[in-house]
Amino acid sequence: MKKSLQSLFLSQNLLVLVFFVPFIKGNNRFIENVTTFLTGVTLSNYKYIRKSYIGVEESAQFKRIDSISVVSKTFNHEDAKAKFALDGAQYSLFCRQILNLRALDANPETMLAFCQDLAKTNPQIKIEAIVGKELEEKGLNLIYSVGRGASKKPCLVILKYEGNPQNSTDVLALVGKGVCFDAGGLNIKPTKAIESMWCDKGGACAVLSAFKAAVDLKLPINLVCSVAIVENLLGSDAYHPSDIIKSYKGLTVEIGNTDAEGRLILCDAMSYTQEVYKPNTLIEFSTLTGACMVALGLTTAGLFSNNDELVKELLDASSETSERLYRLPIFEEHRKAMKGKASDLNNISNVPYGGASSAGAYLECFVEKDVKWAHIDIAGPATSTEQFVYSDGATGFGVRLILEYIRRYRIKA
């Protein structure tokens, strides 16, 4: 690997901040409040900078807090819930750093190497990587088609962690969209839309960071993390609008628009993960539709699911972490709008409205019977323009949400 993604963290000026907190009655509530405050400080304590600072005044530089000391008879940073929340915030920063990397540094080649390096850190991690033409040979035609116009080979990477081998049938799958740069393919994106498309790997970065956290924290859970990693570019071998391509599941898909590529790589990743790794729950994260941003704005993710219990659990985790979700519907008109004329499906809706729901309806076609499924569209909250505790750029949305869901409902800690 030419350049390690983890090595690209920049050193900052250091500052030590000490809090003196008096004893307050109501121990649990006090610990929660301090934890929330420290989580906010941690999330604020980050800025993605690649400036040389040559000729820039010292006062203009971002200064990162190196450590925080809390002096209190009540608060203990080793409190299990507090420690878990603060660890989650650190892995959210980890996600932000990877997602903020531009396509020059984070491409299918380097992201694959990152996954391989991660697998080497723990013997409990198993990795399967399907790269380039191997995708086509295995029937993962949609992932291969989206990425074949780029010089860097597309890939599907699956990481497996058995933290609870005694209950091997209880498996949670996390699936992420990893479009390292989305130029739109032959339906090329226009100026003012294309420049920020380094962020289209937000789903993959979120699930990889949450997976790393689960492994590092030795959580007792069986976890599969699948990321479809491509660049959606223009090239001599790029796929075309009107192509009809057979998915891994066997359904044929007509390409109505090459810029609706996320659902194409996700459906193959979902199908392969379900067939080979047999999860009972599958949660997928993706920066999928501008329509979801129109519906919910920039700070709330859209939630689609086939299971009310899973929805409640995710909304509970959302409430705890303030990574906001709002459930959106999939109605029969959305399913009908995704039907193809010469194919089973089209990758874009035949009506111009309800795009977030029609995308969910498309993905729903690839969910197997008895699998609890949730699709979380993070197109809005994956990045920020200096809102709330977030500096400009990636927010790490989804990492703390996933970890809190695991803590509450998978390991019941």
| Residues labelled catalytic | 189, 263
Judge whether 333 and 412 are in contact, CB under 8 Å. no
Q: Kindly give the pairing relationship between strand 301-305 and strand 244-246.
A: unpaired
What number of H helices and E strands is found in the chain? 12, 15
Judge whether 55 and 8 are in contact, CB under 8 Å. no
Tokens representing 320 are 């705890």
Angstrom distance (rounded) from CA 403 to CA 350:
37
Neighbours of 259 (CB within 10 A): 19
Distance (Å) of CA 257 to CA 64, 146, 260, 363 = 43, 11, 6, 16
Distance (Å) of CA 82 to CA 23, 68, 115, 388 = 17, 14, 29, 21
Tokens representing 157 are 């990477």
**202 CB-near residues (< 8 Å, 6+ apart):** 99, 177, 285, 286, 287, 378, 382, 383, 394, 397, 398
Tokens representing 315 are 């909304």
**191 CB-near residues (< 8 Å, 6+ apart):** none
Distance (Å) of CA 239 to CA 185, 313, 379 = 8, 39, 24
Angstrom distance (rounded) from CA 102 to CA 376:
23
Angstrom distance (rounded) from CA 207 to CA 284:
8
Distance (Å) of CA 162 to CA 31, 223, 247, 364 = 32, 6, 29, 27
- CB neighbour class for 128 (10 Å; exposed up to 12, middle 13-18, buried from 19): middle
**334 CB-near residues (< 8 Å, 6+ apart):** 349, 354, 357, 358, 360, 361
Q: Which helix or strand (DSSP H or E) is residue 33 part of?
A: helix 27-44
